[in-house]
Amino acid sequence: MNIPTIALRNIFRNKRRSVLSLSAIAIAAMVIVFMFSFIQGLKLSNQTTMQRFISGQVRIRNAYYEQYQYTYPYEFMIPDTPAVAATVGHLDQVAHMTERIQFGCQFAYEWEILSNGLPLIGETYPAIGFGIDFQSRDEFFSLKKYLLPGGKLPKEGEALLGDDFARKFGLGPGDTVRLFTEGQGRKLTVSGLVALPVEQLRGRTVFVPLGTAQDLLALGDQVQELLVVFNDSTDLTSGTENVRSALKAAGFQDLTVEPWNRIGVASQWLELAEVAYNFIALFFFIIGTTVIVNTTMMVIYERMREIGTLRAMGMTGKEMILLFFMEAFFISLAAAFIGVLAGIGLVIPLSISGFDFGAVADLGQMNVMVANMIYPQLNLYSTLFVFGYAVVVSSCVSFIPTRRAAKIEPIEALRSM
């Protein structure tokens, strides 16, 4: 008896039942592939956001600054910044390095010039300022990539505003604003607006050239932090240790060198988020498994009269089990293939265009920076796992009802329907 041939005939003989089973398995596989890819993209997007806009792969600061960082203590900058930067920059493992200053400030866009030539400032608004080396280090932050049409990277005496912040006050390229900090003020021309993929950096952020920030804060050539990115072949742990060793050998003692995954609340949030993402993936995995199991068992239990007929015609229990196993195997093989392809078809366009996470969640109210745009990422191993899992579960679960049915006497099976 050619069991595989009979199994294929049974599949095509009752197309409605086969399509139902195939559709359920395919949809489950598609959803699991998509969710695994989405969660992987969520992890990578948040990791990229952390490294690009917060810490680099490694952040170097004055050790005393860490104790008072929320008050922006300008007296605790990196001492002898040029020498520290040169020491780190000469390491073979370092691909990019940039200096940065982050500072609290007040922002004003309306004022009146008095008869003595001094400005009478109107209302001011709190803002977060970033001093960045735009001329040689924009490849680190890639702000040019997020510039809105008509804008450009700022030169000395210019500023780049977060797009939401600028629109709140009706500002655009060419307008003039003033920044105030520590009793000092500076008039700046808006060079452009930038729509960054992080909600918190769009609402009240001002980017100025590094020299402008140093003048405004009277820092000389010092900066608050150095951000480092290693080349692709460098392990984060070994790279961090090499930076620490190089600075220690050069005599720089009071500096902290921290990898991105050990920095503050943001890194802790990412660790918790990864656990949450894994639970979400597990939830969808269980749901998908339940759909596959229930559908397969339902299809077999509905065929008790057919089972009785086959037994009455002389088919043995083992042949019966093998027949239903082959049917489930062929259907699940096709369903898993279709489902995985459909999942890939959903993921690929979104991996290019991105999913606007900010449109469905109020990210601006969060205390940590989360990427607005999520780019789902296919993983070869997880995709192959979903395919194999769908086939194995659907095929093997057929043993449960079939073994029970194979033990039923033909007359009893025929009476059950």
How far apart are the C-alpha atoms of 18 and 28, rounded to whole Å? 16
CA 416, chain centre distance (Å): 53
For residue 335, CA distances in Å to 282, 331, 344 come to 21, 6, 14
Q: What is the DSSP letter of 371?
A: B
255 beta partners: 62
Start-to-end Cα distance in the chain:
27
Whether residue 132 contacts residue 180, with contact meaning beta carbons closer than 8 Å, is answered with no
Domain boundaries, the chain: 3-50+268-415, 64-253
Measured from the Cβ of residue 321, the count of other Cβ atoms closer than 10 Å reads 16
Neighbouring residues of 364: CB distance < 8 A, sequence distance ≥ 6: 199, 200, 203
Return the pLDDT at 50.
79
Return the pLDDT at 349.
93
Neighbouring residues of 54: CB distance < 8 A, sequence distance ≥ 6: 260, 263, 266, 369
Return the pLDDT at 123.
75
How many helices (H) and strands (E) in the chain?
A: 14, 13
Return the pLDDT at 332.
86
How far apart are the C-alpha atoms of 161 and 191, rounded to whole Å? 8
How far apart are the C-alpha atoms of 321 and 300, rounded to whole Å? 11
Phi-psi region of 291 (alpha: psi -120 to 50; beta: other; left: phi over 0): alpha
pTM of the model: 0.72
How far apart are the C-alpha atoms of 189 and 154, rounded to whole Å? 9
Return the pLDDT at 114.
44
Task: Report DSSP letters for 125-148, one per residue.
Answer: EEEEEEEE-HHHHHHHH-GGGGBP
Burial, 132: exposed, middle or buried (Cβ in 10 Å; 0-12, 13-18, 19+)? buried
Return the pLDDT at 382.
86
Q: Which two tokens stand for residue 340?
A: 């995985």
Return the pLDDT at 296.
67
160 beta partners: 192, 207
Single-letter code of the amino acid located at 275: V
* pLDDT mean by block of 10 residues, the chain; 417 residues: 78 80 85 86 81 85 80 83 90 89 84 52 82 74 85 91 88 88 82 84 87 89 90 87 92 88 68 72 74 71 70 75 84 90 93 75 57 83 88 81 68 59
Return the pLDDT at 411.
65
